Structure 1
Amino acid sequence: MVSSGRPRSDWSGSGGMRKVVLGLGFWVQGLRCFPWMAVIFFLKDGLKVDPATLQLLQNSANLPMVAKPIYGLISDSFYIAGQHRIPYLAIGALLQAVSWLAIALLPQSSMSFFTITIYLLLGNLGASIVEVANDAIVAETGKPSTSSSKNSQSSSSGELQSFVWMALSIGGVLGNLLGGLVIDRFSAQAMFLCYGILLAIQFLVTISIHESSLKLPKSASDVGIRKQLSQLLVALQKPEVANSITWFAASYAIIPALTGTMFFYQTQHLKIESSVLGISKVFGQVAMLLWGVAYNRHLKSIPPRKLISAIQATMAVFMVSDVLFVKGAYQKMGVPDSLYVVVFSGFLEVLYFFKILPFSVLIAQLCPPGCEGSLMAFLMSAIALAMIVSGYFGVALASIVGVTGNNFSGLPHGLIIQAACTLLPLYWSSCIHDDAKPKTKRKEN
Structure 2
Amino acid sequence: MMDPDAKEGGPLEEAGGAGAESGPCDGSAECGVASPFRWLRRLSRELHWSFVLAVFAVYGACQGVGNAVGVVAASYYSKDVLRLQPSAAQFYQGIVDSPWVVKPIWGLLTDVVPVAGYRRRPYFLLAGVIGATSMLMISLQSNLGLIPAVLALTAQSAGAAIADVTLDALVAQNSITHPPLAADMQSLCGFCSSFGSLIGYSISGLLVHSMGAQGALGLLSIPSALVFSAGILLKESRVTNFNYKQVHKKFYKAIRSTGTTLKCPEVWRPCLYIYVSLNLSLDIQGGMFYWYTDRLNGPGFSEEFIGVIYAVGAVGSLLGVVLYQSALKDYDFRSMLLWGQVLSSLTGMLDLALVTRLNTKVGIPDYVFAVIDCGVSVMVGKLQWMPVLVLCSKLCPPGIEGTFYALLMSIQNVGLLMSAWWGGLLLHTLNVTRSEFTNLWAVVLIRNVSRLLPLMLLFLVPQSDQNSTLLPAEMLHDDESTEAVKDGSGSVEFSVLVADGSGCHPSVEDVQDERIKVTDDVGGDVELIPLMNTNRTVG
TM-score (norm 1): 0.86
Rounded Cα–Cα distance in structure 2 between residues aligned with 1:317 and 1:437: 25
Rounded Cα–Cα distance in structure 1 between residues aligned with 2:93 and 2:349: 24
How is 1:313-324 mapped onto 2 (pairs within 5 angstroms)? 313-324=342-353
Match for residue 355 of structure 1 among 384, 400, 425: 384
1:96: how far off? 1.0
| Structure 1 match to 2:409 | 380
Contact 2:340–2:384, Cα closer than 8 Å, also in 1: yes
| Structure 2 match to 1:408 | 437
| Structure 2 match to 1:88 | 123
1:304: how far off? 3.0
| Structure 1 match to 2:478 | none
Rounded Cα–Cα distance in structure 2 between residues aligned with 1:182 and 1:87: 32
Match for residue 70 of structure 2 among 35, 39, 63: 35
Contact 1:283–1:347, Cα closer than 8 Å, also in 2: no
| Structure 2 match to 1:14 | 46
Say yes or no: does 1:368 pair with 2:397: yes
Say yes or no: does 1:55 pair with 2:90: yes
TM-superposition CA deviations, 1:231-277 (whole Å, max 9, x none): 22233233222222221121111122111111111111221112111
Contact 2:280–2:450, Cα closer than 8 Å, also in 1: yes
What is the letter of the counterpart of residue 63 of structure 2? Q
SS of equivalent residue, structure 2 residue 334: helix
Q: 1:140 to 1:434 in 2, by over 3 A?
A: farther
Say yes or no: does 1:120 pair with 2:153: yes
Rounded Cα–Cα distance in structure 1 between residues aligned with 2:221 and 2:53: 20
What is the letter of the counterpart of residue 126 of structure 2? I
Match for residue 195 of structure 1 among 211, 217, 220: 220
Contact 2:394–2:469, Cα closer than 8 Å, also in 1: no
1:401: how far off? 2.6
Match for residue 327 of structure 1 among 356, 370, 377: 356
Rounded Cα–Cα distance in structure 1 between residues aligned with 2:24 and 2:88: 59
SS of equivalent residue, structure 2 residue 437: coil
Q: Which has a greater percent of strand?
A: 2
Rounded Cα–Cα distance in structure 1 between residues aligned with 2:286 and 2:469: 47
Rounded Cα–Cα distance in structure 2 between residues aligned with 1:288 and 1:264: 23
1:300: how far off? 2.4
What is the letter of the counterpart of residue 61 of structure 1? V
Q: 1:137 to 1:299 in 2, by over 3 A?
A: farther
Contact 1:326–1:412, Cα closer than 8 Å, also in 2: yes
| Structure 1 match to 2:322 | 293
What is the letter of the counterpart of residue 132 of structure 2? A
| Structure 1 match to 2:336 | 307
Rounded Cα–Cα distance in structure 2 between residues aligned with 1:414 and 1:208: 49
Contact 2:391–2:466, Cα closer than 8 Å, also in 1: no
RMSD: 2.9
Contact 1:162–1:296, Cα closer than 8 Å, also in 2: no
Q: Which has a greater percent of helix?
A: 1
Say yes or no: does 1:228 pair with 2:246: no
Bigger RCO of structures 1 and 2 (CA < 8 A, at least 6 apart): 1
| Structure 1 match to 2:283 | 257
TM-score (norm 2): 0.72
Contact 2:64–2:197, Cα closer than 8 Å, also in 1: yes
What is the letter of the counterpart of residue 252 of structure 1? L
SS of equivalent residue, structure 2 residue 211: coil
Rounded Cα–Cα distance in structure 1 between residues aligned with 2:308 and 2:301: 11
Rounded Cα–Cα distance in structure 2 between residues aligned with 1:281 and 1:390: 20
Contact 1:277–1:342, Cα closer than 8 Å, also in 2: no
Contact 1:136–1:376, Cα closer than 8 Å, also in 2: no
SS of equivalent residue, structure 1 residue 102: helix
Match for residue 165 of structure 2 among 120, 132, 154: 132
Contact 2:284–2:423, Cα closer than 8 Å, also in 1: yes
Say yes or no: does 1:418 pair with 2:447: yes
Q: 1:6 to 1:197 in 2, by over 3 A?
A: closer
Q: 1:255 to 1:344 in 2, by over 3 A?
A: same
| Structure 1 match to 2:526 | none
What is the letter of the counterpart of residue 367 of structure 2? S
Q: 1:124 to 1:343 in 2, by over 3 A?
A: same
| Structure 2 match to 1:277 | 306
Match for residue 170 of structure 1 among 195, 216, 222: 195
Q: 1:20 to 1:364 in 2, by over 3 A?
A: farther
| Structure 2 match to 1:69 | 104
Q: 1:343 to 1:437 in 2, by over 3 A?
A: closer
What is the letter of the counterpart of residue 97 of structure 1? A
Q: Any gaps of 5 or more consecutive residues in structure 2?
A: 1-21, 29-38, 239-245, 471-539
- Farther off after superposition, 308-317 or 229-238: 229-238
Rounded Cα–Cα distance in structure 1 between residues aligned with 2:57 and 2:323: 22
TM-superposition CA deviations, 1:285-339 (whole Å, max 9, x none): 1111222233334332222332233222211001122212212211111111111
TM-superposition CA deviations, 1:357-408 (whole Å, max 9, x none): 3322332233122322211221221122111111111122123333222222
Match for residue 209 of structure 1 among 234, 238, 250: 234
Contact 2:57–2:223, Cα closer than 8 Å, also in 1: no
What is the letter of the counterpart of residue 337 of structure 1? D
1:142: how far off? 4.7
1:438: how far off? 8.3
Rounded Cα–Cα distance in structure 2 between residues aligned with 1:5 and 1:342: 41
Q: How high is the sequence identity, in percent, across the aligned residues?
A: 26
Q: 1:52 to 1:437 in 2, by over 3 A?
A: closer
SS of equivalent residue, structure 1 residue 80: coil
- Farther off after superposition, 285-294 or 243-252: 285-294
1:437: how far off? 8.8
SS of equivalent residue, structure 2 residue 107: helix
What is the letter of the counterpart of residue 421 of structure 2? Y
Contact 2:199–2:311, Cα closer than 8 Å, also in 1: yes
Contact 1:138–1:160, Cα closer than 8 Å, also in 2: yes
Max radius of gyration: which structure? 2
Rounded Cα–Cα distance in structure 2 between residues aligned with 1:249 and 1:212: 37
Q: 1:357 to 1:437 in 2, by over 3 A?
A: closer
Q: 1:339 to 1:306 in 2, by over 3 A?
A: same
What is the letter of the counterpart of residue 245 of structure 1? C
